[in-house]
Amino acid sequence: MPRIEAVEDPEKGTLDTLTPLPVLPVSSKAVIQDAADGIAVQSGVKEKRLDLALAEARKDPSSKGKRKVSWWIRYQLWFTMYRKFFTFIVLLNGTGLLLAALNVWQYPRRYTGAFILGNLLFAILMRNEVFGRCLFWFMNTCFAKWPPLWFRLTCTDVLQSLGGIHSGCAASGSAWLIFRVVLIFIDHKDNHDAVLIAGVVTNIAVFISIGSAFPWVRNMHHNIFERHHRFIGWVGLLSTWIFVVLGDSYDLNTHAWNPDGVHVIRQQDFWYVFGMTILILIPWFSVREVPVDIEVPSPKVAILRFERGMQQGLLTRISRSSIMEYHSFGIVS
């Protein structure tokens, strides 16, 4: 039986068996050379014509065949549900703030704390994990199948744009807070220095927390955003408690402190701050350290699996430590 040899290079020796081309006479070589030169000249002319056509196409945008998008479509793409929520809330609060500054609307001047803390309370509510899970569960349970498609798309858009309400209320609350401190400064002779100092410290903490949430900081330095937004936010909550208690305990008529806590509890500011505190504390009672199975199919993707699984359609936050950066993720079960 003949022995089969392994071939390391399949193309080895193939050129050795080619038949050499016949030698052409001088006249034939000249004809071939002239034909090749003619083809080269024609191809050069075609390339020049193609370059000219491309240059004219660059000069004339209409020759590209692309339809220009109208400003209305670009505006609709830019003015998302997030921006709609933010714009509506800021304009609504801005109108009230203007009327109060012009002394047309007296209620905000007397109860400015209600507008400050009401906005901040709603801003915290929009980012509360328990509220978010309940809202997502309600939408998925009640409106997942039977409503028309446009309604379900609107619900999805609203759920994904709650940050617009959060940002709008936070910005509006900070504006009302500035207005409140300005009023205290104007009536400084009737207020105590401690109240003014507490208001200034609260303003600084709130503005640092809001500044760290700007899109550039949040996208480019997300961990810095998480730390400042959380820890400076806690400082702002503590200073808000001090600001509210001092402001409600100081009698503007007698210029004396009222140590009676009943008067403070009866003020609406107290209950707004109490609600903010509860909303901030609730998610931390549900924090758990659980084993996680991590799969990395690519450098940009990580799949995390939990032993008990999680309900699809809800949201969750995951962190590698107990109180540091918590990042929100969608859940697929």
Out of 67-81, 93-107, 180-194, the most confident range is: 93-107
CA–CA distance, 117 with 173 (Å, rounded to integer): 7
Measure the CA–CA gap between 217 and 295, rounded to whole angstroms: 29
pLDDT digits (tens, 9 = 90+) for 9-34: 444 444 444 444 444 444 444 444 44
- The CA–CA distances, whole Å, from 77 to 166, 168, 222 equal 21, 20, 25
Contacts of residue 271, defined as CB under 8 A and 6 or more positions apart, other chains included, come to: none
Q: How many CB atoms lie under 10 A from the CB of residue 196?
A: 18
Calculate the average pLDDT of the chain: 78
Q: List C-alpha distances in Å: 147 to 132, 155, 157, 162, 314.
A: 21, 10, 15, 21, 20
**Closest listed residue to residue 175, CA positions, set 100, 264, 104:** 100
Taking the C-alpha atoms of residue 53 and residue 56, their distance in angstroms, rounded to an integer, is: 5
CA pair distance 140, 144, nearest whole angstrom: 5
Going from N- to C-terminal start, the domains of the chain cover 74-194+244-275, 289-333
Confidence check: pLDDT of 92 > 70: yes
Tokens, residue 173: 């609350």
Q: What would the pLDDT profile of 136-164 be if each residue is shown by its tens digit?
A: 888 888 888 888 988 988 888 888 888 89
- pLDDT tens, residue by residue, 236-262: 999 999 999 998 888 887 878 887 788
**Amino acid identity at 303:** I
Distance, CA of 260 to CA of 263 (rounded, Å): 6
Amino acid at 295: E
Long-range CB contacts for residues 308-311, cutoff 8 Å, separation at least 24: 309/333
